[in-house]
Copies of this chain bind each other. A is one copy, B any other.
Amino acid sequence: MDYQQILNTIQEEMSYRDVTGKVASYIPELAKVDQKKFGMHVYCGDQKNFSFGDSEEKFSIQSISKVFTLAIAMRLMGEDLWDRLNVEPSGDPFNSLTQLEYESGIPRNPFINAGALVISDILLDQLDDPKQELLDFVRKITGDDDIHYDKKVASSEKSTGYRNIALVNYIKALGNIKCDVEPIVDFYFHQCSLAMSCKQLSRAFMIFANRGKILETNEKILKPKTVKRINALMQTCGFYDEAGEFSFQVGLPGKSGVGGGIVAIHPDNYSVAVWSPILNEKGNSELGMKALERFTTLTGVSVF
């Protein structure tokens, strides 16, 4: 089977009707999304594209944005970044605040909220206009200028984002936040509100499947070592409490978001994005997980 046949098979086999989870509701604006949406897009090393469904419809990428900000922070700071962040799985969400306390405000990894907020602080501290520069970065690696923040989502998150505001204040009390709290969370809620389609996401993530170079232009954006580090982090920490399960089911480095998107890569090979807004109890897209499991099973290619 070629990729398009595999995608067709997945589309035929699966439906939002088969899943039992719920759309994320804690961000009011996200709760409004049509739960029937389902799309998938594969972008290959030879620039070929395959897709089905709502693959060109934009959705809120949420935590997937943490991979972009991590990439920018690593470009700015190199390995010095790891003085302010750790690279290990965090284990349990409940313990994260206690972990912070015992570990002197050093978040376990850049993909838990505490870690992403430290990265927001770094970008705010080192960039003149971090919102614009993040947008520029994502547009550049995607080769597509039609990528924007969704202001409604950003302000919707802000209205209920007390837990994240608590985190920033807590880390600041522990000495690992430099900037003021308000602009950090403002930037963070904006990055989470980035609206992208499966097509755009899969193109953007080719940078991580292509050792840091933009496929079309061969322009080197990230060092190979940076890409290796990011991919290793996606493998071990990309799926909240379900990193182990994803590692087994799908076997690829990837990152999910509560908007229902998941993107995964196969180094030197392809990038694949899927979107279905219904989440399982661990907060990952239920149909997205299944679709990717089928995808690596049908292609017969997995890390393990």
Identify the A interface with B (CB < 8 A). Answer: 86-92, 94-95, 97-99, 101-102, 108-109, 160, 162-163, 165-170, 172-173, 181, 227-229, 231-233, 235-237, 241-245, 247-248, 251, 253, 267, 302-304
Of B172, B173, B236, B267, which is within 8 A of A243 by CB? B236
* 10 closest Cβ pairs, A-B complex: A91-B91, A89-B89, A166-B169, A231-B304, A232-B248, A162-B173, A166-B170, A163-B173, A88-B244, A87-B244
Q: State the CA gap A94–B245 with chains docked (Å).
A: 23
The reply to whether B228 and A304 contact each other, CB–CB distance below 8 Å, is yes
A244 touching B236 in the complex, CB below 8 Å, given contacts A92-B99, A94-B102, A99-B92: yes
Q: State the CA gap A253–B235 with chains docked (Å).
A: 11
Expressed in whole angstroms, the minimum distance between the Cβ of A166 and any Cβ of chain B is 4
A88 touching B243 in the complex, CB below 8 Å, given contacts A97-B97, A101-B94, A236-B236: yes
List 30 interface pairs A-B (beta carbons < 8 Å), by A numbering. Answer: A87-B244, A87-B248, A88-B89, A88-B241, A88-B242, A89-B243, A90-B91, A91-B92, A91-B95, A91-B108, A92-B92, A92-B95, A92-B99, A109-B244, A160-B173, A162-B169, A162-B172, A162-B173, A165-B181, A166-B168, A169-B169, A228-B248, A228-B304, A231-B304, A232-B248, A233-B247, A233-B248, A235-B236, A267-B304, A303-B303
Q: State the CA gap A4–B252 with chains docked (Å).
A: 30
Q: Which of A91, A243, A304 has the most CB of B within 10 A?
A: A304
The residue in chain B whose Cβ has the minimal distance to the Cβ of A245 is B87
A244 touching B237 in the complex, CB below 8 Å, given contacts A89-B89, A91-B108: yes
Q: State the CA gap A84–B97 with chains docked (Å).
A: 22
- A227 neighbours in B (Cβ, 8 Å): 304
Q: State the CA gap A242–B241 with chains docked (Å).
A: 17
Q: State the CA gap A168–B166 with chains docked (Å).
A: 7
Known A94-B101, A166-B169, A232-B304; 8 more pairs at CB < 8 Å: A88-B91, A89-B91, A91-B99, A94-B102, A162-B181, A231-B304, A236-B236, A236-B244
Of B98, B160, B168, B247, which is within 8 A of A97 by CB? B98
Q: How many copies does the complex hold?
A: 4
Q: State the CA gap A98–B248 with chains docked (Å).
A: 26
The residue in chain B whose Cβ has the minimal distance to the Cβ of A235 is B247
Q: State the CA gap A96–B108 with chains docked (Å).
A: 16
The residue in chain B whose Cβ has the minimal distance to the Cβ of A230 is B304
Q: State the CA gap A109–B304 with chains docked (Å).
A: 18
The reply to whether A232 and B253 contact each other, CB–CB distance below 8 Å, is no
